[in-house]
Chain A
């Protein structure tokens, strides 16, 4: 088991390296002179020259990459072109806020989606099933942007229950996390339902029922654990998406997280921040996948990792 984890961790290195090369190359392949773009339209040629030198843009790409990676390995991702603060400071200020938003969203999505999916599966074709699946479909399909604006209009403008934008109090979390969690909730509900339906048809469930166990015990004790395997996979992936994909939500609700930092930085052509943020998100995604794989082992005894069981 530990060997497996170690090997998987080791395998993330080429993935992260690959991502770093791609990101680095894409940014530098963009048309136009980044130094000029950074300096702005009214900058003097001397100033543009000084920007080029300051950010090492006068060096060959390979040299730039090696320099970047050497520094990155020491935790130094350079200086933001926009704020002139260390990139690592920018990211470490923003990341906890995105983490908080994504976590709360995931909790909301799980708390709503999974029970809805279970009830739908056990009461297949009931009114609850039909209604909740339609709602889930809307949740998955509704554009985040639209949902965000509707929630703002209803709960901030008309009802004045929650603040419309910004951070500060727990109240500020409600609208953005509901917005962000809605699609995941819908997804979880649908996955849970279909997975549960499949498991409920399994022989061992029939056996459990035949033993005379109550329906609740059958569903929650026997079927649920197996049914959760695909759900956990999706949750893991979804958490990665929530971390990196909160861009729209963060923008509409002026939530100062990593997604907004990324988009703002792209618009400002703040290449050092874009580079570091994308690489960090890629690394996190790889890490989350690893955690999901490991969780499997606990959920599904059929999955064995080399060197683990000794059978």
Chain B
């Protein structure tokens, strides 16, 4: 054998596979793709059983098959879904819901008041251990009033109950399915939604197909497929090759690149989570409001948003994000280091002070970089920060100490108002009785006026009145500055230009029931 011949053989041995398979490239897959919309998400749902769900990916997938009584639009407005109307008694302790008639679950079971009761009772059952049972924490009893009328009896007036009922996790599944697996995970949920479950191939994908019997507008796209691609770059590749029609959770730097691709639309949307630096108001120097405000003036939030997040974050203008019901814009504290220095001098800290800033690493996007920027900017006004990072669960253990044991001064944390109602974002974090470890008020902040406002907003059943109460509370909270308010996280999705009608929800849900293909 000549050398040349051997080389040829070697090359063939190495390349034989590629050549053989190249001959049968999967062209035919492209042609049938149009009746299926594929959405690539970054994480697999932990479960699609309403009582077990905890994550945004689970909500995104689940929503297409399972519906709840009330739907919350992207702007926080509550609209009828399986309930057509609702009202409460004078005190706000009894809420009556009239249900949509003639709706069937995917298995043919009728949707009625009894079905609602079975679902909510399961959610509330401590033996079931629903993670989000707190959403219905105030519900004492679910009463079947008529075939299509159900009444919730609350322990005490709790106006946010409507937002809570709109949460993606308070979904209605078939009573027959609940009977089969009351305590266990139902696996593939049988709901009333525009799509019904076909299969769930663990680790790879979930397939759904259209519900021909849907009570509302039938979707235009026949099949839905959710694939799980945890690696960011691979998810983007899948979009570029057309294997996915839409992807969620695009990193900001890649979003900039995708913007340059004419076939791809990039969508920026706020999320519900705000990142902040908390002060422990029990300890010097943060027992002094002027110091807390001064630090708020000393940090340039714009820089953080523009440089670290490439514009995909939003400077906080209130202690909750603007998509939340009850949000009033009161901020931001404009960046003004001179003013910060003056205020510090006024408070008796003309020479600044030293303090440790605790922060997580890798828990929130870019969290440690944000801590470094805060350190850098506070150094400018004479406040010398030492950064201390901890593993997440140790960190929580350290922060959630009883008031008299806590000795930290400053910490970085985030909070997602997942109910999209100000109550969830404010009550547990700013009410004086909500101090850690029982509540989430890790700053041990206490303002009696705020407490009263938050309590009133909780029981007032008039949405406009609630909004006004939250407006007042937010102004006080902002002025008291128990946090160094930083930014609201953003979310980025991307989709092919041929797909229209996707809904990008602040709750980090991507909904496809109104989607359609264009050429």
Interface residues of A (CB under 8 A from B): 30-34, 36-37, 39-45, 47, 50, 54, 82-85, 90, 93-94, 97, 108, 111-112, 115-116, 119, 123, 126-128, 131-132, 135, 149, 152-153, 156-157, 160-171, 174, 178, 251-254, 256-257, 260-261, 264, 268-269
Contacts and interface: CB of A to CB of B under 8 A. Distances in A.
A51 B390 CA distance: 23
Given A108-B17, A254-B229, A82 B3 contact: no
Contact of B129 (A50, A94, A116, A260): A50
B47 interface: yes
B18 to A, nearest CB: 8
Contact of B231 (A127, A167, A251): A251
B307 interface: no
The 6 closest A-B pairs by CB, nearest first: A256-B203, A32-B393, A37-B393, A32-B394, A254-B229, A31-B394
A165 B13 contact: no
Contacts of A97: 203
A163 B26 contact: yes
B185 interface: yes
Given A165-B234, A174-B21, A256-B202, A31 B7 contact: no
Interface of B: 3, 6-7, 9-10, 13-14, 17-18, 21-22, 25-26, 40, 44, 46-47, 52, 54, 126, 129, 131, 133-134, 185, 201-205, 227-231, 233-235, 237-238, 240-241, 243, 390-397, 415-416, 418, 437-438, 440
Given A90-B202, A116-B13, 10 more contacts: A31-B391, A34-B393, A50-B126, A127-B3, A149-B237, A162-B21, A163-B26, A163-B241, A256-B201, A256-B203
Given A83-B47, A254-B229, A163 B393 contact: no
B21 A260 contact: no
Contacts of B25: 160-162, 171
A256 B42 CA distance: 13
A252 B129 contact: no
A128 B134 contact: no
Contacts of B438: 45
A32 B392 contact: yes
Chain A interface, >50% SS class: helix
A93 B203 contact: yes
Contact of A126 (B3, B14, B26): B3
A36 B393 CA distance: 7
Nearest to B202: A93
B7 A254 contact: no
B237 A178 contact: no
B136 to A, nearest CB: 13
Nearest to B239: A164
Contacts of B391: 30-32
14 contacts: A32-B392, A42-B415, A83-B47, A128-B10, A132-B10, A161-B21, A163-B241, A165-B238, A170-B21, A178-B18, A256-B201, A256-B203, A261-B203, A268-B46
Given A119-B6, A256-B202, A157 B241 contact: yes
Contacts of A112: 13-14
A260 B229 CA distance: 11
Nearest to B438: A45
Given A37-B392, A44-B134, A128-B3, A161 B229 contact: no
B155 to A, nearest CB: 16
B229 A123 contact: no
A90 B202 CA distance: 8
A42 B416 contact: yes
Contacts of A42: 415-416, 418, 440
A156 to B, nearest CB: 5
B484 to A, nearest CB: 19
Nearest to A37: B393
B428 to A, nearest CB: 9
Chain A CB within 10 Å, residue with most, of B17, B240, B418: B17
Given A43-B131, A156-B241, A164-B234, A128 B393 contact: no
A85 B26 contact: no
Nearest to B38: A166
A260 B131 CA distance: 25
A223 to B, nearest CB: 17
A111 B396 contact: no
A270 to B, nearest CB: 9
Nearest to B440: A42
A174 B234 contact: no
A116 B205 CA distance: 39
Contacts of B21: 161-162, 170-171, 174
Contacts of A40: 54, 131
A132 B17 CA distance: 17
Nearest to A269: B393
B234 A254 contact: yes
Contact of B205 (A37, A128, A166, A264): A166
B517 to A, nearest CB: 20
Given A54-B129, A108-B17, A36 B396 contact: yes
Given A43-B131, A123-B3, A254-B227, A164 B204 contact: no
Given A43-B131, A112-B14, A132-B10, A156 B237 contact: yes
A127 B198 CA distance: 56
Contacts of A90: 202
Nearest to A50: B129
A90 B230 CA distance: 18
Contact of A111 (B13, B131, B204, B416): B13
B6 A123 contact: yes
A253 B54 CA distance: 26
Given A45-B438, A115-B10, A166 B227 contact: yes
Contacts of A83: 46-47, 185, 202
A260 B205 CA distance: 14
B238 A47 contact: no
A55 B230 CA distance: 27
Contacts of A45: 437-438
Contact of A160 (B47, B131, B241, B397): B241
Contacts of B185: 83-85
A295 B129 CA distance: 52
Given A37-B392, A83-B46, A163 B243 contact: yes
Nearest to B228: A254
B368 to A, nearest CB: 17
Contact of B10 (A36, A116, A260): A116
A52 B397 CA distance: 15
Contacts of B243: 163-166
A163 B25 CA distance: 9
Contacts of A269: 393
Contacts of A171: 21, 25-26
A170 B25 CA distance: 11
A126 B392 CA distance: 57
A169 B17 contact: no
Nearest to B129: A50
B390 to A, nearest CB: 8
